[in-house]
Structures are given as structure tokens and as C-alpha cells.
Structure 1
Amino acid sequence: MNESDTEAILPGDLLGAEPTDDRGPEASDQKEAETEVPSRGASFPVSVEPVLFLSMFSIALQAPLATQYLWDRVSEDLGYNGSRGSECGNGSVPPDPLQKEVQTLTAHWNLYLSLGGFSVGLLVVPLLGSWSDLAGRRPVLVISSLGMALQAGVYLLVMYLRLPVGCFVVGRLLSGLSGDFNAILAACFAYVADVSDRRSRTFRVAVLEACIGISGMLASVIGGQWRRAQGYINPFWLVLATNLASALYAFLFVRESVPPDPRAKLLTARHHKAVWHLFRTGGGSREGGGGLQRGKLWLYTLCFFLVVAVHFGSRDLFVLYELSSPLCWGPALIGWGSAALHLAYLTSLLGLKIMQLCMEDSWVALVGLASNISGLVVFSVAYTTQLMFTGYGLCFLSMAATPVLRSKLSKLVGPSEQGALFASVACVESLCFLVGSGLFNSLYPATLHFMKGFPFLVASFILFIPAGIIGTLECLDQRINHRDSPGS
């Protein structure tokens, strides 16, 4: 393996690994000759970007509105008439026990929804991701978009017919069975890796990251204003429409990037066996020894798990934290807060590009973790709107750590193992949703009696673990490189 084979592979490389075929190179060459697919490095000004934009728009529009709807329905069921407004900004007023019960039940329903969707996705996403290496990326995009549309349809039925809020779980299960947003995200990055070369791939991945940030900001601002003006039902019709538009666009306009194999099977143990083999052997890259290689793979995966679990787990609490006293935000402010949260995707991307000019990737990740930790500490004591937005501002580099960790993982395995790594990272990311949501949605109601922002403080302490691991591994690598360098 030459030097170019072991160079850094960015998020697009990780999530979109080269398709592999167990039948050998001759069968692979024959299949490529029979099926015309886009060539690597071909020019596609727009390909899967609209799919990711529309899907992220629907997620960012739906999530805060669903939490607010749960709050209103739980308040109605308990006879809570919104007296939280009298407590806002007045620390002398004792907490309303009924409001505390509303917060607890709403947090629990958020937990049930997360458990329902992501526990199913934990099994489905790796299967769909590995299957797409043989069957093509487009079927995954269409199936997952339709599943998300089906979830929006279930939510609309609950709102129109005033069904029990427990029916929301049915929608989450249906979406999870189709792969949910994780499968769309993985398939989009995989598609970009298929049609781009190494020189253009960084820009294409940056465009996808920008789609996530921009669509999230737009949906957050629109959702808050629209909810205040017209309620919940009309915004959820837009959620349904965007998911259907995403599926239609993928079916009609996305050119397949992988030669489809009609014999490719989805339900097979081959996908999970490849993941197990990868983590048991430590990958086939020559970067480091076998034992050291395997140790790094596990440690960087642990870092990725902790960072993403904290991100998604704490994100579940923001709307609930802002709805209740002493902040008592309305839909408009909640929308602006969610927009500020999504802005970190863009600012982190810009900061990552600038910082890479003067420091190693590991130190870039540490700067991103420091930004995240400082923001979470401020959130834990944010009892005013000004402090809350200060926390959002401090998190402007909070998303810089995850692309570095993905790149680190991709360099630890060989080119033929990127597909297995892609499946494992998708599985870990689904598990992050499950564990993060479960931990923080359980911790929030349990700690309301002594410190409302305690879960954010716990999240900041957890991030010190990956910071320590990344810093230690970077120091060890520098020491090894210095020892092996000529003249040392």
C-alpha cells in the first residue's frame, strides 16, 4: 500500500466507502462493464444535495414542534393552564409542582419516541448501508424518505383525531424500520464518495455539511413563527410534503452511482460479520502495528460515541429547558434558539478549514470539544435569555470534533474495509441517539429538584473523556514519529 492509499479520508469517504463485492475482481469488472454508472470525478453540480436538504429541513421543523405539542397535550391532560408565565423571571415564586409533572411526562415521552425509533434503526441502518454497496444508493434514499413521510402522516392523524400521544411511537417505529434520517445521511455521503475523486471530495462533503446547517436554520426559524401564527397542523403538512418531495427527487433525478446487483440480499448476516471482523482484527491499514491499530480503532470509536451521544442527548433537552420557567420561551424564541444550534454546523466547518492550516487534526478536535464544554457549562446556569444565547455562541466550534474523529477512523482501515467501517459507524451513531436520549431524558426530571441545568453539567464532564483520549493518542503518535524519524 502506497502513501496515497493511507492518506486522510474525510466524512464522505467514511460514510461512503468504495463498494465491495465478494465475488472477486473479475465479476466486479464484468458488472461495471454491463451497467453504466457515473465515473469517479464526474461533474455533478447538484446530485443528492436536495435530498439531504429536504430531509434535514423536515427533521429540524418537526422535532421542536413535536416536543411543544407533547407539552401542550400533557398540560391539557393534567389540567395545567399555563401558569408558568407567572414564575418567569421571578425567583421568589416557588416552582409549580404541576409544571414539574408536565416537564417530567414530556421528557419521558421524548425518551419513548427516541427508544422506539432508534432501537429499530440500530439494526436496520447497518443493513441498508451495506446493502447499498450492491443494490445502489437510490433505493435507500427513496425508502428512507418514504418512511419519514409515513411518520409525518401518523403525527398528523394524532393531531387531527386527538388520538393518544402514545400513537407518536407508532410513527417513530415506522420511520425507524425504513432507516430514518441516519440512512439518508449515510447514503448521501456514500453517493458523494462514489462520484468524486480525492481532490474534489472535500468540497463535495463541505456542501453536504452546509446543507445540514442551512436547512436546519431555515426550518427552525420558520417553524417557530409558523407555530405561533397557525398552530401545529399546517407546519406538519410541510414536513410530510418535504419528505415526499425528497423521495420523488431521489427516484426521478438522482443517477445511480453503484452498479445495481439484482441478486443483492438485504437480510443477511454478511453485513454484521464484516463489522465484527473489522474490530476484531483492527483493520488492514499499515499505519501502526496490529495491537496498537486495534486499540486506536476502539478508542476513537469510543470518543465518537461519547461526543455524538452528548450532542444528541443534550439537544433533546433544549426545547424542554426553554419552555419552562424561568426562561418561558415562546415558539419564536425557540425557533431562533434552534437556528443558533444548527448554525454551529457552518461555523464549525469554517473553523475546521482555518485551523487545519496551522495545527494537526487532533488539536482541532480538542478546540471543538473545548467550545462544546464551555457552552454546556453556560447552559447549566442559564436562567436568562441572554445567558442562553451566550451558550449557543460559545458552541460555535462544537461540531468540529466529529469530522476529525471520522477521518481518524477511516485512516485506520484499508480501502477494501471502508464499507464495513461505514456500517459500524452508522450502527454506533444510531446507538448514540438511543443512549444519549435515554440518559438525558431520564436525568432531567430526576434532577429538577436541586438543579435544573444539571444534565448539561454532566454532559460537559463526559466530554473530558474523549478530550483526554484524543490528546494522549496524539502525543503518543508524535513521540513515535519523532523516534522513527531519520537522525533522531
Structure 2
Amino acid sequence: MKGLLLIEPLVAFYAFATFLVYPLVPQYVYRRLWQDITNNTYPVSDNTSRCDPSNTSSHNEEVQKAASLFSLYNELISIIPSLAVTFILVAYSDQRGRKITIILPLIGSLFYALSFLAVSFFELNLYLLIVSSFVSALFGGSGTFLGGCFSYIADLCEDGQQKTLRMAGIDMVIGLLSGVASLSTGYFLRAAGFNWPFFTSALFLCFNLLYAVFILEETLQRPLDAPLDGCLRRTAMHQLAYGVYQLFAAASRRRNVLLMLLLLLFGSFSFANMGGHSMITLYELNQPLCWNEILIGYGSALSMTMFLTSFVGVTVFSRCRVPNIVIILIGILSVMAGMTLVAFAKTTLMMFLVRLPMLLAIMPFPVLRSMMSKIVSKTEQGALFACLACLDSVNNSVAIAVFSSLYAATVTWYPGFCFLLSAGLCVIPLVLLVPTTPSSGRVRDNS
């Protein structure tokens, strides 16, 4: 039976399964650490007993520090294997096809969800989750999965504008389904506890794995017994260096400079954006907000709408022939404004309203991916998206690690410091945007 060349359902179910548990992970860790540190049951329905400043027995700040440090250890243990696997797999996909970069991360995500279910159901040691993160990283992570998906789309799309819109559509699908999942987590948690959301996520990942293996058609139809290129007979580490070298060796100096600037712009913006967003749930659990699981679910869902609104923004701006650089600029300013407001949000209403300036925050990512994809050859798409996937994985892991340690160090005197830092770091991609302006127009016109 002929398969489907349709990657969007796969991304949709992956986003739903991932974000069904994503807002629950810091809450679960927070509650377990609360019980370990205070020797008391976590107050589910009465926030005042947890956040009342007059309560001298409150250990809220101590739990905040422990939770942020747990996130730090979790990211540090998984960053190296995830990086290595991402780079090798996505680059390897140029020779053997994209499906391997999609299937292996799904296996890792399924293992991670089942590990959370086991720790929650049997009340095992909390730090077993760090071990499961390491094992899951050996199969690649979300960077590997998305790198494979974007390479898959690059194989299917010849037209530059079509490629931009299709990649923006992937971001929109992620935002739409993750928003639905985030909205339901609070009610799911309150009605059924942590076990059922983890179990539901595992079921969706199983379905996704079956779709990827048996239904999704490969874009690169190369027989498994066909001989590999000479470069692939080398060792994995040699091939890793060789793939990066080939990406830049045969191109002109102008193209290489532009590609490096776009990679640096992508990486610096991703670091600032991810670092600030990774601390929002802990900030909401802290004084004076003290949000419960329902409010956290609403907040996460509202944050996810930025994927949908960013897709609409990219579509409208592209139809109106707005230059790519202007679209990227608007997205960066969106993050700067939103993160600055988060640092000063002290009420529930304000914390919801700060999401509004960030509604266009995702626009730079699909535009930058498309711009880079258009300036490399078709045979270099896998190597390019391997670089992007690795860059994304490194940025996410390092950003979470850095911002977690900073949050632990600053939570006692100013919890909003991390968000001001995130806004300040957006100046770096703004500066890098300037030298790309003359070349970006030519790249777009040649697409």
C-alpha cells in the first residue's frame, strides 16, 4: 500500500502528546519536592497555606530553588547524547531518508512518558526521571524530530514561498494542538491526578509511532541495499565533521557568511526565547501569583496561541510582500516586550495579559529556516537541518540550564530577573539582523 506524504498529522499528535505532560512535569516535580522538604502533603485546593507570607513555616523559596536545580540537572544530563544523535541522524537522512529521524525520537519520547507514568504510579525516586531523560536523549529529542520533519518538507517543496508557508504551518500545528493539550491539563490533573495524563500521552505516542512506521512514505526512495557514498563509509564522528565541511566548502564566501549570520541569529534568538519561557511555570507557582493547576493550564494554552497567531502573521506578511527581515524584526520585538512585562507581572490578570505582546514571537523561526533552506542545494537540506536541529537542541538545553541556575540564585530577591535577561538578550539577534538586510532581499528574490 502506498504511504502518505503528509507530515502534519504526525506533528499534530506529537505536539498534543508532548504538551499534555509538558506543563505537568514542573508541577509534579514541585509537588514531590514540596513533600520531601516540608514533610507535608502539598496543598492542592488552598493556595494561601502555601503562599501566605505570614506563614513562618513556609518553604516555598526553598522548593523553588530545588525545583529549578532539578531542571538544571535534567537538562545537563541529556544535552550531550541528544546533540550527538541529532547531528548524526539528521545528516544521515540525506542518504537513507528522513523517517529514521522521526521514528527514533518518537521511541525516546514514548520511553520518557512511560518513565514518568512509572515514577508517578509507583511513587519511585524522583531522580529516576533524570536517568530516563538521559536514556530518552540517546534516541534524539524534539530537535531531532523537528529537524527530520523540516527536512521532509524541504524535500517536498520546490517553491520558496510554499516552503515558508509549509514550515510556518508546522509551527501553527504545534501551537494549535499544544494549546488544546495545555488547556486540558489542569482539568485532567484535578480530575484524575498525574497518572492518566502520562498514560494518555503514551497512547498518542504509540499511535504516532505506528503512523510513522507503516503509513508515512519516505521522501528519499533509496534502497537499503544500495551502496552508500564514500563519505558515509567513514566513522560517525568523521562523517559529522565531513557533513559540516561539505555544507560550506563548495559555496561562495558571500553565501557562507550569510548562512553563518542566519545561524547565529537563529541560535541567539532561540536561546533568549527558550530561556525566558522555561521559567514561567515556576514563576506562576511562586508568590504573589501562586497559581493552581487550572490557571497554569490556561496560561500554557494562551502561550501556545502564539504559534497560531505567528502562522497567521507570516501568511499575511508574505502575501503582502513584507520583507523577511521585517517579519523577523517584529517577532524579536514581540519577545522583548512580552518578557519585560512578565518580569513585573504581580497579578493573575497581568500575567494573562503579558501573553498578548508575544503573539507574534514564533514568526522568526519558520522565516529563518526557509531563508537558509533556499540558499543551500537540495542535497544539502539534511546537513542544514542537522545543524539547525543540533543548534536548537543545544540552545534549549543550555538555555534551560542557565536560566534554571539563575532563577535559583535570584528567586529570593527578584524572581523576574530571568525575564529581564531574556528581553535583554534579544538585542543580540537584533544586532545580527542588520548585516543580513542587504543579502536577504536577494535570497528571497532568487527563490
Among residues 24, 31, 48, which one is paired with 1:65 in the alignment?
24
SS of aligned partner of 2:59? helix
Alpha carbons of structure 1 residues 99 and 166: separation in structure 2 relative to 1, 3 Å:
same
Alpha carbons of structure 1 residues 465 and 93: separation in structure 2 relative to 1, 3 Å:
farther
1:205 shift after superposition: 2.9
CA contact (8 A) 1:223 1:235 kept: yes
1:277 paired to 2:280: no
Alpha-carbon distance in structure 2 between the residues aligned to 1:117 and 1:54: 24
1:161-310 alignment runs, 5 A limit: 161-198=122-159, 200-262=162-224, 263=227, 268-277=236-245, 281=249, 284=251, 290=253, 292-310=254-272
Q: What residue number does 2:286 align with?
A: 324
Alpha-carbon distance in structure 2 between the residues aligned to 1:479 and 1:218: 37
CA contact (8 A) 1:351 1:397 kept: yes
CA contact (8 A) 1:103 1:445 kept: yes
RMSD: 2.7
1:393 shift after superposition: 0.8
Alpha-carbon distance in structure 1 between the residues aligned to 2:132 and 2:344: 35
1:413 paired to 2:364: no
Q: What residue number does 1:151 align with?
A: 112
Alpha carbons of structure 1 residues 89 and 97: separation in structure 2 relative to 1, 3 Å:
closer
Identity %: 28
Among residues 397, 407, 413, which one is paired with 1:450 in the alignment?
413
Given residue 197 of structure 1, which amino acid in structure 2 is its aligned partner?
A: E
1:278 shift after superposition: 5.0
Q: What is the TM-score of this pair, normalised by structure 1?
A: 0.82
SS of aligned partner of 1:308? helix
Among residues 17, 32, 52, which one is paired with 2:11 in the alignment?
52
1:397 paired to 2:397: no
1:398 shift after superposition: 0.7
Alpha-carbon distance in structure 1 between the residues aligned to 2:20 and 2:245: 39
CA contact (8 A) 2:147 2:388 kept: no
Q: Deviations over 1:90-114 (max 9, x none)?
A: 7x75897621110001011112222
SS of aligned partner of 1:165? coil
Q: What residue number does 1:25 align with?
A: none
Q: Greater Rg, structure 1 or structure 2?
A: 1
1:261 shift after superposition: 4.2
CA contact (8 A) 1:279 1:297 kept: no
The alignment of Structure 1 onto Structure 2 pairs a total of residues equal to 432
1:48 shift after superposition: 1.9
SS of aligned partner of 1:269? helix
1:88 shift after superposition: 8.5
Alpha-carbon distance in structure 1 between the residues aligned to 2:117 and 2:51: 35
Given residue 276 of structure 1, which amino acid in structure 2 is its aligned partner?
A: V
Alpha-carbon distance in structure 1 between the residues aligned to 2:94 and 2:243: 14
Q: What residue number does 1:20 align with?
A: none
Q: What residue number does 2:96 align with?
A: 135
1:333 paired to 2:295: yes
Alpha-carbon distance in structure 2 between the residues aligned to 1:141 and 1:218: 23
Q: What is the TM-score of this pair, normalised by structure 2?
A: 0.89
CA contact (8 A) 2:75 2:398 kept: no
Alpha carbons of structure 1 residues 439 and 94: separation in structure 2 relative to 1, 3 Å:
farther
CA contact (8 A) 1:57 1:216 kept: yes
Given residue 32 of structure 2, which amino acid in structure 1 is its aligned partner?
A: R
Q: Deviations over 1:390-449 (max 9, x none)?
A: 111110111111222223333443444333222211111111012101110011011122
Alpha carbons of structure 1 residues 134 and 478: separation in structure 2 relative to 1, 3 Å:
closer
Alpha-carbon distance in structure 1 between the residues aligned to 2:347 and 2:328: 30
1:426 paired to 2:356: no
Alpha carbons of structure 1 residues 209 and 391: separation in structure 2 relative to 1, 3 Å:
same
In structure 2, the gaps of 5 or more residues are none
Alpha carbons of structure 1 residues 466 and 71: separation in structure 2 relative to 1, 3 Å:
same
Alpha-carbon distance in structure 1 between the residues aligned to 2:145 and 2:337: 31
Alpha-carbon distance in structure 1 between the residues aligned to 2:28 and 2:108: 21
Given residue 453 of structure 1, which amino acid in structure 2 is its aligned partner?
A: G
Among residues 343, 347, 351, which one is paired with 1:388 in the alignment?
351
1:115 paired to 2:76: yes
1:78-97 alignment runs, 5 A limit: 78-79=37-38, 81=40, 85-86=47-48, 93=54
Given residue 360 of structure 2, which amino acid in structure 1 is its aligned partner?
A: L
Alpha carbons of structure 1 residues 51 and 473: separation in structure 2 relative to 1, 3 Å:
closer
Alpha carbons of structure 1 residues 382 and 115: separation in structure 2 relative to 1, 3 Å:
same
CA contact (8 A) 1:444 1:452 kept: yes
CA contact (8 A) 1:363 1:471 kept: no
Given residue 111 of structure 2, which amino acid in structure 1 is its aligned partner?
A: L
1:252 shift after superposition: 1.6
In structure 1, the gaps of 5 or more residues are 1-35, 39-43, 482-488
Q: Deviations over 1:28-87 (max 9, x none)?
A: xxxxxxxx999xxxxx6x722221111111221122111111001100001164579338
Alpha-carbon distance in structure 2 between the residues aligned to 1:368 and 1:70: 32
Alpha carbons of structure 1 residues 270 and 89: separation in structure 2 relative to 1, 3 Å:
closer
Q: What residue number does 2:121 align with?
A: 160
Given residue 242 of structure 1, which amino acid in structure 2 is its aligned partner?
A: F
Alpha-carbon distance in structure 2 between the residues aligned to 1:142 and 1:468: 38
Worse-superposed segment, 199-208 or 442-451: 199-208
SS of aligned partner of 1:192? helix
Alpha-carbon distance in structure 2 between the residues aligned to 1:94 and 1:380: 25
Worse-superposed segment, 152-161 or 293-302: 293-302
Worse-superposed segment, 422-431 or 66-75: 422-431
